Amino acid sequence: MAEMLEKEASAGDGRGLPTPDNAPVLVVDGLVVEHRNRTTGEVFRAVDGVSLRIAAGESAAVVGESGSGKTTLAMAATGLGPRGEGDVRLLGHSLATLGRRRLRALRREVQIVFQDPHGSLDSRQSVRSGLKELRGLQRERTSWIDDAGLLERVRLSPDLLDRYPHQLSGGQAQRVCIARALLMRPRLIVADEPTSGLDVSVQADVLELLREVRETTGAALLMISHDLAVVRSVCDSVHVMQRGRVVESGPCETVFTDPADGYTRELLAAMPGARWRARR
Amino acid sequence: MNAPSLNAALPDEPPDGPPKAQAAKKPPSMAAGRVRRVAARLGTLFASLFIALTMAFALGRLSGDPTANILGPTAPPDQREALRQQLGLDRPLLTQYFDYIKGVFTGDLGESLQFYQSNTTMIFDRVPYTLQLVAGGMAVAILIGVPLGVLAATREGTWWDRAASTVALLGQSVPVFWLGMMFVVLFAVKLGWLPAGQSGTPKHLILPALTMSLYPMAHIARLTRASMSEALGEPFIDSARARGISRARVVWRHAFKNALMPVLTIVVLQTGILLSGAVAIEYVYSWPGLGQLALQAVQFRDFPLVQAIVVFGAVVFVCLNLIVDVIHSVVDPRVR
């Protein structure tokens, strides 16, 4: 593992866009995103003036119940969804001023792990050909590891390389997704509910893998989740969202042990095992 | 979240442990499953072919006494009886049926009542003409229909989409015989660019093939749009875009490949429909294909020939269905 770390540290050149290394990987400033219902014309404000900042190598979480705007925020922050008003600076580049081509180059440094691992794999593509496609995007950047080595990094057998998504279990598919993210040596990994589509028995393994990937690659992590236990085990800081607004932000330990906002307290109280922990 | 102990209790789901724990566990006997699937599919196709053959036979007998149609209603009974014997219609129905089935499998589809020739020979004389027409028509339909559908799906809700949908709607609702006549009036009579009918040169093919392409083109465009639009909404499309894959590659390599199957199916089935006789088009353009032969057979009440053409169509359809299945298994790894 130590060799791998060294290899990664020295492989810092050959990246897509020049970015100062100490700059925050993501700065969101006053973001407002509205969805318009096409038939009724009603406007729904999914993200309502959110600001946050993720430093290089930091691991942050956005938590909140369904419909609180977490995913819309993540999609806007990575330039995948509607951008709305406000400024998003990804790896030091303002998304508003980036053209399509440069945005695509930037996306290779920001990898997303989605909630539904089977859905996010093309069913007509074997694991190997999926990796090959990514390698075709940027040969130098992805030459640091071979396919078998990459699968071993996410603790999968290289035998799975010739499998198609329908031949993988949920946990295996999510590991393949993480492997694909890892291959691009991203500076930021966005994980949108990465474990909620999985069996409870494999959730912990996948989280452990995410934690390890972050520690060994130095990539920053933005985790979107409704599961506070998951967030607590992986992230340094947390932003609590309710109805499109951030109601509380801070280091995980502070927010979880001494929540300032009423909504955060409600969320914490709804956590499984909350009462047991309170008694302890 | 005590994972390792739970893992052990789930034998169906391969545990995601370290590589050693899950080495080379191949999905259970895929080859055997494939053989069983192929056999079942062949069985179904064979059964439907048999039903089609039986129906063609039954319809020939149900349409009344052919001797009355051939000799006219005033013919004396003894003449009709003689003809009935000559055609073998006096034999028991079951014997006739078995002879007919035997004939189908040995390539003998009987003899025409009006041409005094083998039906099989006549059909195969006409097939090359119909094949030309169908190949030309389907090529135009695919070359226009598929890009039109993809264009509409990738620009859903825009002016492009509405224009493409309108073209497709028109294409499916304009009757071919009317369109054929209008083409003749415009391009052959008024402008004099192309021949109005008959066959021979590539120029003769243009108008009938264009006329024929319209309906399948519209059908293909609509289906491609629907299928692409569905594929583009799948999460793996976002996922591919998120990884920085170019839009063209996302659309053609990922979305289109996943949207292809219904489109391919329709292409093949439309080919089948057109092959077994594009009666109106061949009539309008005096094209000497199968459709024209079918029309002549019906007009003369030449029931052995009608039956033979129906049988030919059924066989073509079954073969094309088989081709669809084969393509499906090649394109989709889940069906293999």
Percent of chain A past pLDDT 90, that is, above it, reads 2
Q: If you count them, how many residues does chain A have?
A: 280
Contact assignment for A119 to B234 by CB distance below 8 Å: yes
CA–CA distance, B222 with B216 (Å, rounded to integer): 10
A10 Cα to chain B: minimum distance (Å)? 23
For B21, which residue in chain A has the nearest alpha carbon? A157
Contact call for residues B265 and B329 (beta carbons, < 8 A): no
- For B308-324, give the DSSP string: HHHHHHHHHHHHHHHHH
CB atoms inside a 10 Å sphere around CB A101: 9
Residue A208 binned pLDDT confidence (cut-offs 50, 70, 90): confident
Nearest residue on chain A to B3, alpha-carbon basis: A201
Average pLDDT, chain A: 81
What gap in Å lies between CA A205 and CA A207, rounded to an integer? 5
ipTM for the complex shown: 0.72
3-state secondary structure (DSSP) of residue A76: helix
Residue type, B109: L
pLDDT band, very low/low/confident/very high, at A2 (cuts 50, 70, 90): very low
Give SS3 for B91. coil
**pLDDT over 90 at A38, yes or no:** no
Picking from B10, B19, B157, the nearest residue to A201 by CB comes out as: B10
* pLDDT per position as a tens digit, B1-26: 444 444 444 444 444 444 444 444 44
| Contact criterion met (CB below 8 Å) for A136 and B243 | no
B243/A107 touch (CB, cutoff 8 Å), yes or no: yes
Rg (Cα) of chain B, in Å, rounded? 27
Please tell me the number of Cα atoms within 13 Å of B313 on its side-chain side. 20
* Predicted pLDDT of residue A274: 56
The residue type of B118 is S
β-pair type (A188-192, A110-113): parallel
User: How many contacts (CB atoms, under 8 Å) link A and B?
Assistant: 121
Note whether A153 contacts B: Cβ–Cβ < 8 A.
no
The per-residue pLDDT for B37 is 80
The two beta strands, A43-54 and A26-36, are antiparallel
Q: What is the pLDDT of residue A276?
A: 53
pLDDT at A255: 85
In sequence order, what are the beta bridge partners of A223? A61, A191
Cβ contacts of B53 within 8 Å, gap of 6 or more: B100, B101, B104, B311, B314
Query: What average pLDDT does this structure show over A252-263?
Result: 83
Per-residue pLDDT reduced to its tens digit, B140-153:
999 999 999 999 99
Residue A67's SS3 state is coil
**Is the pLDDT assigned to residue A11 strictly greater than 60?**
no
Q: How far is B255 from chain A (nearest CA, A)?
A: 9
Type of residue found at B236:
F
Cα–Cα dist B115/A9, whole Å: 86
End-to-end CA distance of chain B: 37
pLDDT of residue A21: 57
**Cβ atoms within 10 Å of B328's Cβ, excluding its own:** 16
Which residues on chain A are in Cβ contact (under 8 Å) with B332? 123-124
Whether residue A166 and residue B18 make contact (CB cut-off 8 A), yes or no, is no
Q: Inspect the interface and report whether the beta carbons of A133 and B245 lie closer than 8 Å.
A: yes
Residue of A275, A256, A263 lying closest to A65 (CA atoms): A263
Three-class SS of residue B57? helix
Q: Quote the pTM value.
A: 0.73
Joined together, the tokens standing for residue B66 give 């052919």
At A249 the three-state DSSP class reads strand
Query: What gap in Å lies between CA B201 and CA B204, rounded to an integer?
Result: 5
Short-list B234, B20, B24, B154, CA closest to A125: B234
Consecutive 10-residue averages of pLDDT for chain B (336 residues)? 41 43 49 79 88 85 73 80 80 86 84 82 88 90 92 87 88 85 81 74 81 89 91 86 84 88 88 80 84 86 84 87 84 72
CB A197 within 8 A of CB A116: yes
Touching check for A205 and chain B: CB below 8 Å? yes
pLDDT of amino acid A153? 84
- Note whether A171 contacts B: Cβ–Cβ < 8 A: yes
Q: Determine the residue type at B21.
A: A
CA A209 vs CA A116, B17, B91: distances in Å: 17, 11, 80
Residue B21 has a pLDDT of 41
Take residue B31 and report the two structure tokens written for it: 């080859």
Digit-coded pLDDT (tens) for B167-205? 888 888 888 888 888 888 888 777 877 777 777 777 777
Please give the residue of chain B at the shortest CA–CA distance from A168. B14
> Is the minimum CB–CB distance between A121 and chain B shorter than 8 Å?
yes
Q: Tell if the CB–CB gap between A104 and B246 is shorter than 8 Å.
A: yes
Tokens representing B255 are 């979305």
Contact indicator for B104, B53 with CB cutoff of 8 Å? yes
- Helices marked H in B233-302 — which ranges? 235-242, 247-249, 257-275, 279-284, 290-299
Q: Quick one: what percent of chain A has pLDDT higher than 70? A: 89
Residue B59's H or E segment, with its range, is helix B30-62
Query: Which amino acid is present at B72?
Result: G
Average pLDDT rounded to a whole number, residues A42-58: 86
Whether residues A201 and B27 touch (CB distance < 8 A) is answered with: no
CA distance A255 to A259: 5
Q: Do A137 and B242 touch (CB under 8 A)?
A: no
The answer to whether the CB atoms of A204 and B1 lie below 8 A apart is yes
Nearest to B334 among A116, A166, A169 (CB): A166
Q: Which residues contact B212 (CB under 8 A, 6 or more apart)?
A: B133, B134, B136, B137, B176, B274, B278, B281
CB contact under 8 A, B16 and A171: yes
| Chain B CB within 8 Å of residue A107 CB | yes
How does pLDDT run across A114-127, given as a tens digit for each residue? 888 888 888 888 99
Q: B17: nearest CA in chain A?
A: A155
